[in-house]
Amino acid sequence: MSVPANHLNPPAGLDVARVRADFPILQRTVHGKPLVYLDTAASAQRPEAVIKATDDFYRRLNANIHRGVHTLSQEATDAYEGARDKMAAFLNAPSRDELVFTRGTTEAINLVAQAWLRPRLNPGDEIIVSQMEHHANIVPWQMLCESTGAVLKPIPINDAGELDLDAYHAMLNDRVKLVGMVHVSNALGTVNPIAELARAAREKGIPLLVDGAQSLPHQAVDVQALGCTFFCFSGHKMYGPTGIGGLWAPMEVLAAMEPYQGGGEMIKKVTFERTEYNPPPGKFEAGTPNIAGAVGLGAAVDYLLDLGMDQVAAYEAWLLQAATARLEAVEGLQVVGTAAHKAGVISFTFDDIHPHDIGTIIDHHGVAIRTGHHCAMPAIARFGLPATARASLGIYNTLEEFDVLAGALEQVRDMFR
């Protein structure tokens, strides 16, 4: 991340005033104050383009997909499959058929755990994940270990919240059947060097799964350049709808995977004797999917591409650095997670005031932050803490909003003194 000479000058390229105007919710007030939304890591807000795309779908195209011969069904199918094209291209996937729609990151990881890893796991095998994982990249593996006798091992992180690379390399042994790694930590903001980690794993024949929930909104992602085997993501983190996300994996991996759930859509032919499955991605999309959600996700991709992911990344890198400096100037505030390479997230403690008290009080200033363990209990516990307060940012945030947060925090401290 390059450090700008002047905190007050954001890089040219992203017109934040225009971006803000695209997000209707930013017009509202909370407790009579303008909304300062600093909880994008939990769920981003939606631009008008995404809201309109889902609204249009229900108004003009709504029908079930794939099976219908009538016009609406065909148009709905085109819209759904068109969203797959957009998402696959956004990830630079070699083929659109390698993009499986799921409910989100959580379902994508569970899909890999059950459909790919379970049949390949033996007692004593190992799965390694970092100590900074979201529970979505811990619990599915733990469940698998409990029923197979495999072992889940955490890769330690240092005091800055960075992966211990020496420990990682030492842990890559013959027993390891999968590495699960978050791209950007939602609790600490750390950006992990996925390409380097994936290369080392690949050299040992070990697949690496990326939890990309927090990276897609902040930077361009190219799954081929990353060299990972699985990439999982959620639409709602990248300004799209909830209930839609996906899994990317190379075709030979998807083709070798068992189906996850059985039902309609995923079959070619069913008799009581046996069922023939559709090829991927249909094989993993049993039942009626979130059609409008996929269409909205496609609109989110268009929106981000229109802004330009390089512009998004440059603006956010500046804002993160400037906002961190602004918050660190608040007496008693301690940033948790100080990795050299970070994105989107500032976790902090503030004197010994409980984060829930901070969050509740500053809500009355219109400021929305998240408090707690951020679904990453082991990461927060690593710092000897039960909880932190977390401000997370997106394309619509400004440094002035962090001034509001800092001012609100000063008032919280006054209340507790």
Enumerate binding residues for ligand PMP (CB under 6 A).
Answer: 41, 104-106, 134, 136, 182, 186, 211, 213-214, 234, 245, 375
CA angle 347, 214, 400 (to 5 degrees): 50
CB of 138 to ligand PMP, least distance (A): 10
Q: Please, which residue, 369 or 409, has the CB nearer to ligand PMP?
A: 369
Q: What are phi and psi of 30, to 5 degrees?
A: -130, 125
DSSP string, 234-258: EGGGGTS-TT-EEEE--HHHHHTSP
CB atoms within 10 A of CB 271: 7
- What are the residues whose beta carbons fall under 8 Å from the beta carbon of 237, sequence distance 6 or more? 40, 41, 43, 44, 105, 213, 214, 216, 217
> By three-state DSSP, how is residue 231 classified?
strand
- Of 179, 111, 168, which is closest to residue 140 (Cα–Cα)? 111
Q: Please, which residue, 182 or 409, has the CB nearer to ligand PMP?
A: 182
CA angle 366, 372, 375 (to 5 degrees): 120
Q: Is 375 an annotated catalytic residue?
A: yes
CB of 227 to ligand PMP, least distance (A): 20
Structure letter (DSSP) for residue 259: P
Amino acid at residue number 305: L
Q: Please, which residue, 77 or 137, has the CB nearer to ligand PMP?
A: 137
Token look-up 């512009």 returns 311
What 156-160 contacts at long range (C-beta under 8 Å, 24+ apart), as own/partner pairs, is 156/131, 157/130, 157/131, 157/132, 157/190, 157/379, 157/382, 160/337, 160/338, 160/339, 160/340
Q: Is 376 within 8 Å of 134 (Cβ atoms)?
A: yes
CA 262, 266, 269, 273: dihedral to nearest 10 degrees? -20
CB of 232 to ligand PMP, least distance (A): 8
CB atoms within 10 A of CB 386: 11
Q: Please, which residue, 186 or 290, has the CB nearer to ligand PMP?
A: 186
CB of 179 to ligand PMP, least distance (A): 15
Q: Is 190 within 8 Å of 339 (Cβ atoms)?
A: yes
CB of 299 to ligand PMP, least distance (A): 18
Q: Please, which residue, 346 or 412, has the CB nearer to ligand PMP?
A: 346
- Residue 32, class by beta-carbon neighbours within 10 Å (0-12 exposed, 13-18 middle, 19+ buried)? exposed
CB of 174 to ligand PMP, least distance (A): 28
Q: Please, which residue, 35 or 129, has the CB nearer to ligand PMP?
A: 129
Query: Active site residue: 145, 228, 232, 375, which one?
Result: 375
Dihedral (CA of 198, 93, 305, 134) sign: negative
CB of 183 to ligand PMP, least distance (A): 8
Catalytic sites, residue numbers: 375
